[in-house]
């Protein structure tokens, strides 16, 4: 079994880990990146499952059992309402997890949307634990790299990167480990012609749903650092207590 085969098997059994083969589970334990991915994927699936459980229509079970006894030639009238309820539950779940709001400037909204997809494994990243290698990779792809990072932001262990676009501009995501088991995702973007930017060299802290963020500008670059770690851990990076 290779890594991709193990990932596919683990992805199908996040809510039933006992159904995964011992080989796949062993790979998740021995491969740190696969283990981290599995932890995030399981957390997301559990949140989705909880949302489904919270929004199952009253009497749905009884309706299913009753209609199951109806002869097959008769129309099963409960199918469409059931599918509609499932679709509504999925929509509600994403609404609960989605940190973007209509009052955000475009650069911030697009950055948080991209980070959310990375956090929940919807968007793939390039794993690397070498900051210099990540910088070279981003430069080769004509994506921005940070000219300067304040405090101890750049001292965090690096985990991955991704090239994206924000408001039509080339941008980068660099993933760090802010605490054991918790990541902080940094968006670096060229702020030319962007509006409603954060102030120069003065980080602004803000809570967006279950994210804590810090945003600032430095010359022609603007940054958004977001994490699910406590806000105190985020502020500590900037020397704030």
Nearest by Cα to 129 from 224, 33, 37, 34: 33
Is residue 75's pLDDT more than 60?
A: no
Domain boundary among 74, 97, 120: 97
Residues 85 and 110 in one domain: no
Residue 40 is predicted with a pLDDT of 73
Sequence-distant (6+) residues with CB within 8 A of 152 are: 236, 237
Residues 58 and 140 in one domain: no
Residue 90 is predicted with a pLDDT of 42
Residues 51 and 121 in one domain: no
Any domain includes 220: yes
Domain span including residue 212: 106-236
Residues 51 and 113 in one domain: no
* Six token digits for residue 181: 């088991």
Any domain includes 241: no
d(CA 186, CA 170): 14
Is residue 188's pLDDT more than 50?
A: yes
Is residue 89's pLDDT more than 50?
A: no
Mean pLDDT score, 64-78: 54
Domain boundary among 56, 73, 97: 97
* pLDDT tens digits, 155-180: 999 999 999 999 889 999 999 999 99
Residue 21 is predicted with a pLDDT of 87
Mean pLDDT score, 62-81: 55
Residues 141 and 197 in one domain: yes
Domain boundary among 35, 67, 97: 97
* pLDDT tens digits, 103-161: 888 899 899 988 888 887 777 889 999 999 999 999 999 999 998 999 999 999 999 99
Mean pLDDT score, 82-87: 50
Residues 21 and 70 in one domain: yes
Mean pLDDT score, 217-221: 96
Any domain includes 163: yes
Residue 114: count other Cβ atoms within 10 Å of its Cβ: 20
Is residue 92's pLDDT more than 50?
A: no
Which has the higher per-residue pLDDT, 237 or 106?
A: 237
| pLDDT tier, 88 (very low <50, low <70, confident <90, very high otherwise) | very low
Q: How many domains does the chain have?
A: 2
């Amino acid at each position: 079994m290779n890594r991709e085969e193990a990932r596919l098997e683990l992805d199908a059994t996040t809510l039933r880990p006992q159904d995964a083969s011992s080989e796949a589970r062993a790979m998740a334990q021995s491969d740190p990146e696969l283990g981290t991915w599995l932890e995030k994927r399981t957390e997301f699936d559990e949140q989705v499952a909880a949302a489904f459980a919270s929004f199952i229509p009253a009497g749905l079970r009884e309706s299913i059992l009753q209609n199951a006894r109806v002869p097959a030639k008769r129309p099963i009238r409960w199918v469409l309402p059931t599918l509609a309820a499932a679709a509504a539950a999925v929509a509600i779940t994403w609404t609960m997890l989605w940190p973007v709001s209509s009052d955000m400037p475009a650069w911030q909204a697009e950055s948080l949307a991209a980070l959310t997809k990375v956090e929940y494994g919807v968007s793939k990243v390039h794993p690397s634990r070498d900051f210099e290698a990540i910088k070279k990779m981003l430069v080769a792809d004509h994506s921005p790299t940070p000219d300067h990072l304040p405090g101890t932001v750049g001292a965090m262990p690096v985990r991955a990167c991704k090239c994206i676009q924000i408001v039509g501009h080339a941008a980068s995501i660099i993933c760090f480990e802010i605490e054991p088991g918790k990541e902080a995702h940094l968006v670096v973007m060229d702020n030319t012609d962007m509006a409603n930017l954060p102030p120069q060299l003065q980080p602004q802290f803000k809570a967006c749903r279950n994210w804590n963020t810090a945003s600032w500008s430095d010359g022609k670059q603007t940054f958004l650092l977001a994490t699910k770690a406590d806000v105190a851990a985020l502020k500590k990076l900037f020397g704030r207590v």
